[in-house]
Amino acid sequence: MNIKQANLVRLYGSMALVGALSVMAVTESSAQQQLIMSGYPGTIGNNIKKAFVGTYDRASGLRYLESWDSARFTQMQANRANPKEDVVTFTDLTLPLVAAAGLLEPLDTKTIPALADVDPSVRVAGDAGVPFTYGCFGIAYNAKYVKNPITSWADLLRDDLKGHVSAPNVTYTGAFNTLDGLSRTKGGTLKNPEEGMKLYQRIRTSGPGLWDQENVAVGWLKTGEVWATPYFSGNVLVMMNDPDLKDLRFVVPSEGAYYAPLAVAKVKGRPENDGASRFINHMLSPENQEKWAELGKTRPVNTKAKVPDDVAASCPTASKLNKVDIDYLNRYRNNIVDQWNQIVNR
């Protein structure tokens, strides 16, 4: 090899090395800039993708992972030293547990300006996350079979409905709202639920039983096996578009319906390039709040966002809804479940 050839080899080798380093730099930069969100699967997840992910100007750099609260919380605990997600979603039942575990970064209006426009009645203590929507948990019934409208939690025990009423099982979060509602008809609450559990036991044994998954409840409503069940307002409004459920109605009982939010939060310990805050601000913007409200049929939390008429009519504002004491529920949940097994499942 002559000197000229040797110089060419060195030149091409240097170019190859520079090219390789450039690719590595781009790959590393892309990895740092990629935003990872862990949210819900199913209909909720699809609506998140349509209302928030698909409308984001950096959507190509956003990765959406699907899981439910318990699995997400468990994974976050396991990855505490090296978090894998930037943005996460949780219900109001799980969010305080995640915050107490020190896994969330408090939100602030400096990096999330839209937070200032969120309804104060839905803001979370310490801003350890923020609801991005809420609906209410009341009663769904099929007017095709129920001629006398339901107006109270006590109506679930009416003689004319006997054998055709169901309710969520204790494995489903809405069961605690239902239990509190039934208990109120007897002067109790979730903190003294024995009489409410006795009513729950009558519902369980007089009809097809309790449901653990929403698809079971929907199936029973479609076949007419169930005429009434406690249910979530947004889902009922969506189901009313189904020809088989065109007579479905949603009612806020006289004792009150229950506040049911979905929250978004920022994970602590992730490299901060303002991506998480920027995306949460995007979720809270009036235009995207309105997109969500039309898709999910639940209320926006941004006070500047327009509320669809059917959503406004079905669910009162947060300040007018009953709220279960989440801290109490999380602290004494095992005791409540034990009492449930003794009374409701006897």
Domain shared by 250 and 182, yes or no = yes
pTM of the shown model = 0.88
Residue 151 within any structural domain of the chain: yes
Domain of residue 72 covers 31-134+261-320
Q: Which long-range contacts (CB under 8 A, 24 or more apart) does 217-224 make?
A: 217/166, 217/168, 218/245, 220/166, 221/140, 221/142, 221/245, 221/248, 224/142, 224/144, 224/145, 224/164
Sign of the torsion angle spanned by Cα atoms 74, 80, 84, 87: positive
Please count the structural domains in the chain.
Answer: 2
Q: Are 201 and 213 found together in one domain?
A: yes
* Cα separations in angstroms, 57 against 9, 36, 61, 272, 275: 44, 15, 9, 18, 12
User: Can you give the pLDDT at residue 16?
Assistant: 46
Same domain for 299 and 240:
no
Say if 195 falls within a structural domain. yes
Q: Tell me, what CATH number does 53's domain have?
A: 3.40.190.10
Q: Are both 222 and 335 inside the same structural domain?
A: yes
Q: What is the mean pLDDT of each run of 10 residues along the chain (346 residues)?
A: 48 45 40 82 94 95 96 97 96 97 97 98 97 99 98 98 98 96 97 98 98 96 98 96 96 98 96 86 98 98 98 98 97 98 96
Question: Residue 326 has which token pair?
Answer: 């989440």
